Chains A and B, each alone.
Chain A
Amino acid sequence: MKIQVRYFASLREALGATETVELAPGSTLGALREQLLARGGRHAEVLARARPVRCALNQVMSDETAAVPDGAEVAFFPPVTGG
């Protein structure tokens, strides 16, 4: 299945704003992060497990155990710093 992945702030600067990703049905957000990490390069660097990366599924803050539905919009970003 295909999903849309968006990046914000420092992750956007490293990886670009958006990309379409082919993902196995039933995958969780954690599995998606692992798949992106496995590409190596900048993805491995900024999505590294040691880094505090947050994620949203269809524009709602989610944890990595959430299952990703077909056609989903997933976003990865650093901890938020508004206000």
Chain B
Amino acid sequence: MARRVRIQTEDFDLAHEVAALQAGDHGVGAITTFTGTVRGGAVSEMEIEHYPGMTEAAIDAMIDAAMQRFGIRAAQVVHRIGRLRPGEQIVFVGVAATHRGVAFQACEFLIDYLKTQAPFWKKETTAEGARWVDAREADDAALQRWGIPSVNG
């Protein structure tokens, strides 16, 4: 299988990622994707920092957990770092499976997991200046639905 985790400053192309998830596997009957984007409003810019090495390993372990738990056929996570503007894509999670049920579940599981366990930090710039984004307890609750304890926020 191709590399399942990419951390990059460049943008990503949804159609390309979806095609790669399916490539060469005719057992795939369902592909689900999640794309996170920068919300505008008061925010004029967002900067994303990560912990090189740990980030890739942590997400790779999450994909292993999703493979085992849901029996999916392939998964890909792309997360951007650096400076991003409102409307830009931040994160892609794609899952290929035999049927849609597990594809939906595994996609949600992976983004819930990533939000509270992968070492990324966002800093938002508004008219009042730049500030680090606070973690949300709701994100911990989202992961706890899957029976995984989380005390991030």
**Which one of B90, B111, B118, B123 contacts A80 once the chains associate, using CB atoms below 8 Å?**
B118
Asked if B123 and A52 sit within 8 Å, CB to CB, the answer is no
Asked if B51 and A77 sit within 8 Å, CB to CB, the answer is yes
- What per-residue 1/0 map shows which CB atoms of A51-69 lie under 8 Å from chain B? 0101010011100000000
Name which residue of chain A comes closest to B61, CB basis.
Answer: A60
Hey, which bits of chain B sit against chain A, CB under 8 A?
36, 48-51, 53-54, 57-58, 79, 90-91, 111, 114-123, 132-135, 152-153
A10 to B114, CA, bound (A): 20
Q: Of residues A52, A59, A78, A82, which shows the largest number of chain B Cβ atoms within 10 Å of its Cβ? A: A82
Chain A, interface size category, equals 10 to 19
Interface of B is mostly: mixed
Query: B48 to chain A: which residues have CB within 8 Å?
Result: 82
A40 sits at the interface (CB 8 A): no
Query: B54 to chain A: which residues have CB within 8 Å?
Result: 56, 59-60, 75
- Give 11 CB contacts A-B under 8 Å: A8-B51, A9-B132, A59-B54, A77-B51, A79-B135, A80-B118, A80-B121, A81-B120, A81-B132, A82-B79, A82-B120
